[in-house]
Each structure stands twice: as structure tokens, then as C-alpha cells.
Amino acid sequence: MHLLPASLPLSLHSAEQVRALDAQLIAAGTPGFELMQRAAHAAWRALRRRWPDAGEITVLAGRGNNAGDGYLIAALAQRTGWRVRVLAVGDPAALSGDAEQACAEARRAGVDVLPWSECAPLAGIVVDAMLGTGLAGAVREPYAQAMRMLNQSGLPVLAVDIPSGLHADSGARLGVAVRADLTVTFIALKLGLFTGVGPQLCGELQFDDLQGDAELLARAPSVAQRLDPANLPRLAARSPVAHKGQFGHLLVVGGDLGMGGAALLCADSALRAGAGLVSLATRAEHVAAALVRRPEIMCAALASANQLLRLVERADVCVVGPGLGQGAWSRSLLSGVAGSDQPQVWDADALNLLAAGQVSAPRHGVLTPHPGEAARLLGIDTASVQADRPAAVRALAQRFGLVVVLKGAGSLVAAPDGRLALCDRGHPAMAGAGLGDVLAGLIGALLAQGMAAYDAACLAVWLHARAGEVLAAQGRGLAAGDLPCTIRQLLEEVCPCTK
């Protein structure tokens, strides 16, 4: 479980940016060894809070500054009277600078420093201090074998700064990586902790800024922002004399034969999120069901794109793709919408037809691919998208000149100008059909009410994920149709309808 305390910073950084921050703190007068000591104390406090009665730790140490943190943790545990030993996966003779000083400190405290071997038993709480944020390539031996043995041990694990084997920027597993129960990270949050397999490997995440200069940390450059009520874009409050014509006319296009539910979910979501008017252009076979389910939605039966043009002209925003299909009917409708000037949200089969070269992208709006759709749009495989989700979503935003939401655990929102936001809310119970259709309608409704594309995508992604969390308290079986009413309540909490 990936816990996200309210005290976590909102800015996410690359490994290079964090190293630069570390250097600036040292240049500003805090010695590197003192920062290492502060990191060790922070990790030791976290370990004792989580496992107060353990009484024993094993430190797996590499040969960089991450190992230095581990050696100092070992010294603190030894002086507290715990049973302690360090298994040196990296040769202590190769240590230098602050890490060498930390190893000497551990030895002075009476810590046994033993060479790691496949026969060396692990015991107590295992402190992962093998590889830090500088890792870029695949994990090599003997580290890979040490990590495999640790993961197979079933022992509780504290990772120092970042689980060894996790890429600090992309959240990719570099061949093999440690699965931690608790990760204590320092100075600034690394993007890779929140995307890819990062949340799965980190376990509970705690943060300590090591008493760094607050002003220096606040103005440090970052690569992304975590979405949070403190920094969410706000939908403007409504005037007491407001009327429906002021909040946009949204048109949902989709629902081929057998897939009418997707388009209806999308339209229902848009209605509940405050769009002034909502129309649904779909197959004639779905109109009766739509009117029974939601009579507030204006339904139009379409046999061809010619019938669609008048509806598009009246709309302020179009959401295209939920249940659209990829047949001749689908292609004709998408072509009829694509050239219009309204902001558009493209989802599902609209993206697949775009990837197949059947149509050009809209001029304005938002694309909402899941990893498989993103892979088709980029001409790569899904594994490559998941291996570096930030790079993938940025590439899509640049390629199409549109805001892009890359869905999945740790959804990302990218703008063509380089802005990147990450949503660390959500729940595994949201892994089900139709939730993407609800998100597309929500984004469209916020666009219809006047929000800019990037702002609408950020607010919608957070509301959608948070609603999933709220409903997931009941466990499995979350249906997409459950979300719109909860989203409505959350939207009112974040952006009250009236002042």
C-alpha cells in the first residue's frame, strides 16, 4: 500500500535535480557527512516507529552514499542495543568520502561488517542501502542476486531514499528491484517513486528534507507537480442569475452497436459534472435506453456523418470515442468531428483510429490514452510506454500539440509547453470497464464550463481518482456508473458552485 501523507511536498524532481540540490545544500554550509547523518537519523526514526519491537536489523550496503546512510543506521541501531550486522554487497574498500567515513563510524560502534554471500542469512528488519538514485542501467551482480534473495526472504524491508533497482526518473524496474515495506526518501521527492512500478516497490513512503534551507528547496526546479487540493485548478463559482446556456453545450459522439453504454456513461458523467447542456449522438438502437436512463440528455440517432454536422455546429465541446468502434460508421463520424474548431476530448476508439492514420488529430483539446493506446499512437509496445511513462506522455503531447492524459496507476497529464502533473490518488478497485468513459465526460464538462485544457484535465483526473478511492472503501465490484455522483460531491468540496 502506497500511503501519501499530507505533508509530502507537491514538487517532483529528477535524480539530477536532487543531486544538484544536495550540492547546493553542501555549498551553502551544511557538510555532506552531516546531511548523511541526518538521513540516517530520519530513516532510523521511521524504522523504530514502524517496527518498534524488532530488536534486530540487517543492512545490505553498496558502495556509494546510499551505503553510507546504511552504515550510519547500523551504528545507531548498535548503540541502541539492537542486534546488528552489515552485509557488504559492495566492497567496503571501494568506499570513499562521506561513505567511507560512515563505514568507519559503524565499525567504531561495534557493528559487524561482513561480505555478502548467497549463504549469508538475513534476519530482522532488512535495510536496503545498496543502490541509490544514480542507477541508470540494468542491475548487475552481485546486487541482482542479493535483491532476489531479499525479495524471497519475506522479511520486512526499509529502503533508504529509493528501493534499489528502481529508476528514479521513470519509475522503471531496472531488471530486478527491491520490494520495500517502507521507503524513507530525502531532500526532495523523486518522480520515479510515484509512477511506473514505483508505488508498488516503495510501500509506505515517508519524506524528510534533512532540515535543508526551505527557501532553497522551494525555488528548486522540478519536473512535475503532484495533484493535490492545495494546487488543483479551480472551476469558477456561478453567479446567482446563472443559466444553462453559460456552461456549455457538450456533444458526446460514440456508441456503436453493442457499445451504447460507454457513450451513455460519458454523457451522464458530463451532466453530473455541470455541463449546461449534454447531447448524445449514437446509433438509433441506443436512443430509447439512453432516454430511460437519463432523460436530461438530448439523444440523436445517427446513420451517417451528414446528420452529425448540424449537431457539431451547435456544440461548444465534443467528446469522441467512447464505444465508437472502428467500422465505417465510426470512421465517418470521427472524420465529421475532427475538422471542427471546438475543443475536443478523444478517447478509446477515436485514439485507435488516429493511431491507424484514419484521421488527423483535433486542433484543440485533450487525448486520454491508456498505455496500450499510447503505445499504438507512438508506434512502440506497451511495455516501452510503461517503462518510462513520463517520457511517453511528453512525447504524445509534443507530437499532437495537445494536452494528453496517460491513464493508469499514477496518471500523468502533459501539456505541449512541457508542464507535467501526476495524480497519486486512485485504487486498484478502479480496474474495470467504463471508468475511462466517465473520465472523458468529466474532462469535457470542465472544458464546456470554460476551463483551459490542461487545467480541466488536471482537475478531472484528480476528481476521478479520488472518487474511486472513496467508493473503493466498499471493496471490489466498483462500477463506472457509481462514480459521477461521488465526483459531483467532490467537485462541490473543491470548487463550490456558489461563493
Residue stretches of the annotated binding site = 66, 128, 132-138, 143, 161, 164, 262, 323, 370, 407-411, 436-437
For residue 59, what is its C-alpha cell? Answer: 543492512
> In this structure, is the dihedral angle defined by the CA atoms of residues 242, 244, 249 and 255, taken in order, positive or negative?
positive
Sheet holding 277-282, edge to edge: 189-190, 11-13, 224-226, 420-422, 412-414, 403-406, 365-367, 344-346, 317-320, 249-253, 277-282, 298-301
Give the DSSP letter of residue 104. H
Half-sphere exposure of 92 (CA within 13 A, CB side): 21
Residue ranges of the binding site for (6S)-NADPHX: 132-138, 143, 161, 262, 323, 370, 437
Residue ranges of the binding site for AMP: 407-411, 436
For residue 61, what is its C-alpha cell? Answer: 550496503
Rounded CA separation 33/39 (Å): 10
Q: Residues 6 or more apart from 369 whose CB is under 8 A from it?
A: 351, 377, 396, 404, 405, 406, 407
Report the 10 Å Cβ neighbour count for 411.
27
Contact (Cβ atoms closer than 8 angstroms) between residue 45 and residue 258 = no
Report the 10 Å Cβ neighbour count for 148.
14
From 134, 3, 124, 142, select the one nearest 61 (Cα to Cα). 142
Rounded CA separation 402/417 (Å): 9
Burial class (CB in 10 A: 0-12, 13-18, 19+), 421: buried
Residue ranges of the binding site for K(+): 66, 128, 164
Q: Residues 6 or more apart from 53 whose CB is under 8 A from it?
A: none
Report the 10 Å Cβ neighbour count for 482.
19
- Residue reference for cell 561495534: 110
Q: Residues 6 or more apart from 286 whose CB is under 8 A from it?
A: 255, 260, 263, 264, 299
Task: Please state the length of the chain.
Answer: 499
- Residue reference for cell 524532481: 13
Contact (Cβ atoms closer than 8 angstroms) between residue 355 and residue 381 = no
